[in-house]
Structure 1
Amino acid sequence: MTTTLKYVGKKTRCQGKTLWEILGNLKDFGVGRLIVRNSYARYKEPCFMRVIEVKAQPNKVPPPIKVYRPPNDLRDNDRAREVHMICETVFRGVKFEQPQQIDTASILPDYSLVPKHLEHTYTYSKLASEKREENIIPAYIEVPPFLKYLLKKDGIDDPKINTIINQSPESLYRLAKDGEQPTKPFSTGFQRANNSNLYKGIQEDI
């Protein structure tokens, strides 16, 4: 009789080893070597890290009360050891100006060591020198209809909301400057429904 396993829940993209498993077995803790995250393999542009400095972090003291963690959560895993790594980072073909620090993410089993004879496929890639396409989004978005109605009663003729986006170095988006045309316009979805019966007895100017 065969047993069928059925996995329930979100699948993880992590496939590989932790940084401690890789760097702990290399001379000088792998300084100068290239490390890649396997979850970034979905990008066509090269993504890699060149190790500059490595320090092993002490093992964390387990909490006094056992807390339930999903099977893929490694925060309480005694086998996973955090590593403090400083590295030059290239993400989607763009090199960060400042060295990046990796510590808590080092326990993820998502890293692989690039063999020396294959490093040139990353560092001399054509995509690594090409300028990444910018995604420009509007600096302001529309407000919900009822809020717009209330603001107009207070004397605000053209109410808008500032757009807030992630400004991290790896972000692919930026806000449009004054007079600049966005390349990625978007709408909040507050438009009139197709069923006209919904608007019977309602003021059209609201």
Structure 2
Amino acid sequence: MAKVIRYVGRESHFKGKTLFEIAANLKSCKGRVVYRQGFLKDPEKTFVILEDVKPNLSNEDFKSGTVTGYRVFRGHKFDRLFQINSGMKQDWHLIPKAEEAEFCKIDKVFQVVDTRPSTMTLPPVMAAKLKSLGTEMSQLTEIPMKYPKKKGKRLL
């Protein structure tokens, strides 16, 4: 009688290989393009151009190590190297060399739009307090908002 295998728990949403399994099958992974299945949910393209993959050789299953590469996030290309911390997730896919040029064409870029209000209406208690003080600010109904400036272009 054959044994019945019974799986317990939720089905994994990861469909693919780890970065280290992909790199083990390549002669040189420098310049190769990979993406995660989760990156496809956005209309803009997100992928990684691999620079260096160093698997942890003391681990037998090749599911740990360090990966560095250039990131393209929602159409924005970043010039500096990033360390990819999710290389062990079984969600990575390799783009074939013949399709890399077509896949890497950026046709849509995500634009960050600041939707924060520039003014705020005064709270009723504060407006009443200003009127009772009789200052020149007692006529105000709205006050300008000031937001702290962020350093650099942060999209991630």
* Shorter-normalised TM range: 0.5 to 0.7
| Residue 84 (str. 1) matches residue 66 (str. 2) | yes
Unaligned runs of 5+ in 2: 1-6, 134-139
- Deviation at 1:116? 0.7
Instruction: Check conservation: 2:48, 2:70, Cα contact below 8 A.
Output: yes
Which is strand-richer, 1 or 2? 2
Change (3 A) 1:149 1:94: same
Match of 2:4 in 1: none
- Deviation at 1:13? 4.2
Instruction: Check conservation: 2:74, 2:109, Cα contact below 8 A.
Output: no
Q: How many residues align?
A: 139
Unaligned runs of 5+ in 1: 61-77, 172-206
Quote the Cα distance in structure 1 between the aligned partners of 2:115 and 2:62: 40
Quote the Cα distance in structure 1 between the aligned partners of 2:8 and 2:125: 51
Instruction: Check conservation: 1:34, 1:114, Cα contact below 8 A.
Output: yes
Change (3 A) 1:97 1:57: same
Match of 1:107 in 2: 88
Match of 2:99 in 1: 118
Quote the Cα distance in structure 2 between the aligned partners of 1:22 and 1:121: 21
TM-score w.r.t. length of structure 2: 0.65
String of CA shifts for 1:94-150, please: whole Å, max 9, x gaps.
1012111113x1111110010011111222x241xx5432221327897xx8xx959
Instruction: Check conservation: 2:50, 2:68, Cα contact below 8 A.
Output: yes
Change (3 A) 1:126 1:58: closer
Match of 1:21 in 2: 21
Change (3 A) 1:137 1:37: same
SS of aligned partner of 1:96: strand
Quote the Cα distance in structure 1 between the aligned partners of 2:15 and 2:103: 19
Match of 2:3 in 1: none
| Residue 46 (str. 1) matches residue 45 (str. 2) | yes
Report the RMSD for the aligned CA atoms in angstroms. 4.0
